[in-house]
Amino acid sequence: MLSFEEEEDISIIIVNEETFEPVEDGVEGEIWVSSSSNAVGYLGYPSLTREIFNARLIGVTGLRFIRTGDRGVIKGEDRYLYVTGRSSDVIIIDNHRENIHSHYLETAAYRSNAEHLRGGCIAAFALAKMAVVVAEVQKGGRDGGCFRRICEGIREGVMREEGVRVGRVMLVKSGSLPKTSSGKLRRFLAKEMAARGRFQVVYEAWFEEPVENLKVNVEEIGEDGEGLELAGARHRLQLQSLM
Protein backbone atom coordinates (compact mmCIF):
# COMPACT_ATOMS: atom_id res chain seq x y z
CA MET A 1 0.00 0.00 0.00
CA LEU A 2 1.16 3.52 -0.77
CA SER A 3 -0.33 6.72 0.60
CA PHE A 4 -0.50 9.51 -1.95
CA GLU A 5 0.38 12.05 0.74
CA GLU A 6 3.77 10.53 1.50
CA GLU A 7 5.60 11.47 -1.69
CA GLU A 8 4.55 14.79 -3.20
CA ASP A 9 6.95 14.53 -6.16
CA ILE A 10 5.30 11.30 -7.36
CA SER A 11 2.03 11.30 -9.25
CA ILE A 12 0.23 7.96 -9.34
CA ILE A 13 -3.04 7.57 -11.19
CA ILE A 14 -5.33 4.72 -12.23
CA VAL A 15 -6.16 4.82 -15.93
CA ASN A 16 -8.60 3.13 -18.28
CA GLU A 17 -6.25 1.49 -20.79
CA GLU A 18 -8.71 1.79 -23.65
CA THR A 19 -9.63 5.48 -23.25
CA PHE A 20 -6.41 6.80 -21.60
CA GLU A 21 -8.58 8.64 -19.08
CA PRO A 22 -8.33 8.53 -15.27
CA VAL A 23 -10.92 6.38 -13.52
CA GLU A 24 -12.78 7.22 -10.33
CA ASP A 25 -11.60 5.97 -6.95
CA GLY A 26 -12.78 2.40 -6.40
CA VAL A 27 -12.54 1.50 -10.10
CA GLU A 28 -9.75 -0.84 -11.20
CA GLY A 29 -7.40 0.15 -14.01
CA GLU A 30 -3.75 0.32 -15.04
CA ILE A 31 -1.32 2.05 -12.68
CA TRP A 32 0.54 4.99 -14.25
CA VAL A 33 3.44 6.75 -12.49
CA SER A 34 5.05 10.13 -13.12
CA SER A 35 8.17 11.04 -11.16
CA SER A 36 11.54 12.72 -11.54
CA SER A 37 13.08 9.29 -10.93
CA ASN A 38 11.31 7.67 -13.90
CA ALA A 39 13.56 5.84 -16.34
CA VAL A 40 13.89 7.35 -19.82
CA GLY A 41 13.08 4.22 -21.81
CA TYR A 42 14.32 1.02 -23.37
CA LEU A 43 17.72 1.16 -25.07
CA GLY A 44 17.31 0.57 -28.80
CA TYR A 45 13.49 0.37 -28.75
CA PRO A 46 12.15 3.85 -29.53
CA SER A 47 8.58 2.77 -30.39
CA LEU A 48 8.18 0.77 -27.20
CA THR A 49 9.75 3.61 -25.23
CA ARG A 50 7.14 6.05 -26.54
CA GLU A 51 4.32 3.66 -25.67
CA ILE A 52 5.47 2.73 -22.16
CA PHE A 53 7.61 5.61 -20.86
CA ASN A 54 5.89 8.58 -22.50
CA ALA A 55 2.24 7.83 -21.89
CA ARG A 56 -0.11 10.81 -21.75
CA LEU A 57 -3.65 11.29 -20.59
CA ILE A 58 -6.23 12.32 -23.15
CA GLY A 59 -6.49 16.11 -23.25
CA VAL A 60 -3.54 16.68 -20.87
CA THR A 61 -0.23 18.10 -22.08
CA GLY A 62 3.17 18.23 -20.41
CA LEU A 63 2.94 15.47 -17.82
CA ARG A 64 4.30 12.09 -18.94
CA PHE A 65 3.76 8.76 -17.25
CA ILE A 66 5.23 5.27 -17.18
CA ARG A 67 2.68 2.56 -17.84
CA THR A 68 3.59 0.00 -15.18
CA GLY A 69 1.57 -2.86 -16.62
CA ASP A 70 0.17 -3.42 -13.13
CA ARG A 71 -3.49 -3.10 -12.31
CA GLY A 72 -4.79 -1.51 -9.14
CA VAL A 73 -7.50 0.44 -7.39
CA ILE A 74 -7.51 3.47 -5.06
CA LYS A 75 -9.75 3.22 -2.00
CA GLY A 76 -10.54 4.99 1.24
CA GLU A 77 -10.37 8.54 2.54
CA ASP A 78 -6.57 8.33 2.64
CA ARG A 79 -6.60 7.11 -0.98
CA TYR A 80 -4.43 4.03 -0.58
CA LEU A 81 -3.33 2.18 -3.69
CA TYR A 82 -4.02 -1.56 -3.85
CA VAL A 83 -2.22 -3.56 -6.55
CA THR A 84 -4.53 -6.28 -7.89
CA GLY A 85 -2.39 -7.98 -10.55
CA ARG A 86 -0.79 -7.66 -13.98
CA SER A 87 -2.66 -6.37 -17.03
CA SER A 88 -1.13 -9.15 -19.14
CA ASP A 89 -2.65 -11.78 -16.82
CA VAL A 90 -6.22 -10.51 -17.06
CA ILE A 91 -8.67 -12.84 -18.77
CA ILE A 92 -11.25 -11.01 -20.85
CA ILE A 93 -14.67 -12.53 -20.37
CA ASP A 94 -17.92 -12.03 -22.30
CA ASN A 95 -16.79 -9.82 -25.17
CA HIS A 96 -14.74 -7.35 -23.06
CA ARG A 97 -17.65 -6.54 -20.74
CA GLU A 98 -16.12 -8.23 -17.74
CA ASN A 99 -12.52 -9.14 -16.83
CA ILE A 100 -11.02 -11.41 -14.20
CA HIS A 101 -7.48 -11.97 -12.95
CA SER A 102 -5.86 -15.32 -13.72
CA HIS A 103 -4.80 -15.96 -10.14
CA TYR A 104 -8.44 -15.99 -8.97
CA LEU A 105 -9.20 -18.89 -11.31
CA GLU A 106 -5.95 -20.64 -10.38
CA THR A 107 -6.74 -20.41 -6.66
CA ALA A 108 -10.24 -21.77 -7.19
CA ALA A 109 -8.88 -24.61 -9.32
CA TYR A 110 -6.35 -25.61 -6.66
CA ARG A 111 -8.94 -25.54 -3.86
CA SER A 112 -11.12 -27.93 -5.84
CA ASN A 113 -8.46 -30.69 -5.81
CA ALA A 114 -5.72 -29.66 -3.40
CA GLU A 115 -4.89 -33.31 -2.60
CA HIS A 116 -4.11 -34.07 -6.27
CA LEU A 117 -2.66 -30.81 -7.66
CA ARG A 118 0.64 -29.03 -7.05
CA GLY A 119 0.26 -25.70 -5.29
CA GLY A 120 1.56 -22.74 -7.31
CA CYS A 121 1.69 -24.90 -10.42
CA ILE A 122 -1.61 -23.98 -12.10
CA ALA A 123 -2.01 -21.50 -14.96
CA ALA A 124 -5.25 -19.98 -16.24
CA PHE A 125 -5.64 -17.95 -19.40
CA ALA A 126 -7.95 -17.31 -22.35
CA LEU A 127 -7.34 -19.31 -25.52
CA ALA A 128 -9.60 -19.60 -28.57
CA LYS A 129 -12.20 -17.49 -26.77
CA MET A 130 -12.53 -19.78 -23.78
CA ALA A 131 -11.06 -20.03 -20.30
CA VAL A 132 -8.34 -22.68 -20.06
CA VAL A 133 -6.75 -24.18 -16.94
CA VAL A 134 -3.43 -26.05 -17.05
CA ALA A 135 -2.60 -27.86 -13.80
CA GLU A 136 0.34 -29.99 -12.72
CA VAL A 137 -0.72 -33.18 -10.97
CA GLN A 138 1.17 -34.69 -8.09
CA LYS A 139 3.25 -37.78 -8.80
CA GLY A 140 1.61 -41.12 -8.26
CA GLY A 141 -0.44 -43.74 -10.03
CA ARG A 142 -3.99 -42.77 -11.05
CA ASP A 143 -6.49 -44.05 -13.55
CA GLY A 144 -8.52 -42.25 -16.18
CA GLY A 145 -11.54 -42.03 -13.91
CA CYS A 146 -9.55 -40.14 -11.28
CA PHE A 147 -8.20 -37.71 -13.86
CA ARG A 148 -11.70 -37.13 -15.19
CA ARG A 149 -13.00 -36.34 -11.72
CA ILE A 150 -10.13 -33.90 -11.14
CA CYS A 151 -10.96 -32.04 -14.36
CA GLU A 152 -14.65 -31.88 -13.54
CA GLY A 153 -13.83 -30.77 -10.00
CA ILE A 154 -11.69 -27.93 -11.34
CA ARG A 155 -14.49 -26.78 -13.61
CA GLU A 156 -17.08 -26.95 -10.83
CA GLY A 157 -14.80 -25.19 -8.34
CA VAL A 158 -14.00 -22.30 -10.68
CA MET A 159 -17.67 -21.99 -11.59
CA ARG A 160 -18.77 -21.92 -7.98
CA GLU A 161 -16.13 -19.49 -6.68
CA GLU A 162 -15.71 -17.13 -9.64
CA GLY A 163 -18.72 -17.73 -11.88
CA VAL A 164 -16.48 -18.48 -14.87
CA ARG A 165 -17.17 -21.34 -17.25
CA VAL A 166 -13.94 -23.23 -17.97
CA GLY A 167 -13.89 -24.64 -21.49
CA ARG A 168 -10.75 -26.76 -21.30
CA VAL A 169 -8.70 -28.39 -18.53
CA MET A 170 -5.24 -29.85 -19.13
CA LEU A 171 -3.52 -32.01 -16.53
CA VAL A 172 0.23 -32.08 -17.12
CA LYS A 173 3.29 -33.70 -15.64
CA SER A 174 5.01 -32.25 -12.59
CA GLY A 175 7.50 -29.56 -13.64
CA SER A 176 5.83 -28.87 -16.99
CA LEU A 177 4.66 -25.29 -16.40
CA PRO A 178 7.26 -22.65 -17.34
CA LYS A 179 8.49 -20.40 -14.53
CA THR A 180 10.99 -17.61 -14.01
CA SER A 181 14.23 -18.13 -12.09
CA SER A 182 12.43 -16.79 -9.00
CA GLY A 183 9.59 -19.29 -9.34
CA LYS A 184 6.89 -17.07 -10.87
CA LEU A 185 4.53 -18.51 -13.45
CA ARG A 186 5.16 -17.48 -17.05
CA ARG A 187 1.53 -17.48 -18.12
CA PHE A 188 2.13 -16.03 -21.57
CA LEU A 189 4.58 -18.84 -22.38
CA ALA A 190 2.20 -21.41 -20.90
CA LYS A 191 -0.53 -20.11 -23.18
CA GLU A 192 1.77 -20.39 -26.20
CA MET A 193 2.74 -23.94 -25.21
CA ALA A 194 -0.92 -24.92 -24.90
CA ALA A 195 -1.73 -23.41 -28.29
CA ARG A 196 1.15 -25.28 -29.94
CA GLY A 197 0.55 -28.58 -28.15
CA ARG A 198 3.91 -28.59 -26.37
CA PHE A 199 2.80 -29.75 -22.93
CA GLN A 200 3.35 -33.28 -21.68
CA VAL A 201 -0.36 -33.90 -21.14
CA VAL A 202 -1.50 -36.83 -18.99
CA TYR A 203 -5.21 -36.06 -19.36
CA GLU A 204 -7.23 -33.40 -21.13
CA ALA A 205 -10.92 -32.52 -20.83
CA TRP A 206 -12.82 -30.31 -23.27
CA PHE A 207 -16.10 -28.82 -22.10
CA GLU A 208 -17.83 -27.68 -25.23
CA GLU A 209 -19.53 -24.45 -24.20
CA PRO A 210 -20.62 -21.46 -26.31
CA VAL A 211 -17.54 -19.23 -26.56
CA GLU A 212 -19.60 -16.04 -26.34
CA ASN A 213 -20.95 -16.86 -22.88
CA LEU A 214 -18.17 -17.81 -20.48
CA LYS A 215 -19.61 -15.85 -17.55
CA VAL A 216 -22.61 -17.22 -15.65
CA ASN A 217 -24.58 -16.41 -12.54
CA VAL A 218 -22.99 -18.15 -9.53
CA GLU A 219 -26.40 -18.31 -7.84
CA GLU A 220 -27.55 -20.78 -10.53
CA ILE A 221 -25.09 -23.38 -9.19
CA GLY A 222 -26.02 -25.25 -6.01
CA GLU A 223 -23.53 -26.05 -3.26
CA ASP A 224 -23.29 -29.63 -4.53
CA GLY A 225 -22.70 -28.48 -8.12
CA GLU A 226 -26.29 -29.23 -9.18
CA GLY A 227 -27.13 -27.43 -12.39
CA LEU A 228 -23.66 -27.75 -13.85
CA GLU A 229 -23.90 -29.70 -17.11
CA LEU A 230 -20.96 -32.03 -17.59
CA ALA A 231 -22.54 -34.57 -19.93
CA GLY A 232 -21.18 -32.81 -23.00
CA ALA A 233 -17.57 -33.02 -21.87
CA ARG A 234 -15.10 -34.71 -24.19
CA HIS A 235 -12.20 -36.48 -22.49
CA ARG A 236 -8.94 -37.78 -23.86
CA LEU A 237 -6.50 -39.91 -21.88
CA GLN A 238 -2.81 -39.74 -22.74
CA LEU A 239 -1.05 -42.97 -21.81
CA GLN A 240 1.97 -41.35 -20.25
CA SER A 241 3.69 -42.00 -16.95
CA LEU A 242 3.55 -39.36 -14.22
CA MET A 243 7.03 -40.23 -13.09
Give the pLDDT of the chain (243 residues) as one tens digit per residue: 444 445 558 899 999 988 999 999 999 999 999 998 899 999 999 999 999 999 999 888 778 999 999 999 999 999 999 999 898 888 876 544 568 999 999 999 999 999 999 999 999 999 988 899 999 999 876 777 899 999 999 999 999 999 999 999 999 999 999 999 999 999 999 999 999 999 999 999 999 554 444 444 444 445 444 444 433 344 444 434 343
117 and 160 inside one domain = yes
- Of the three residues 87, 114, 134, the one that is the final residue of a domain is 87
| Strand residue runs (E) in the chain | 10-16, 21-22, 29-35, 66-75, 80-86, 90-93, 98-101, 117-127, 130-137, 166-172, 201-207, 233-237
Is 243 inside any structural domain?
no
Q: Which domain holds residue 77?
A: 10-87
**φ, ψ of residue 86 in degrees (nearest 5):** -100, 140
Number of domains making up the chain = 2
| Cα pseudo-dihedral 243, 133, 86, 161, rounded to 10 | -120
34 and 18 inside one domain = yes
In this prediction the pTM is 0.72
114 and 233 inside one domain = yes
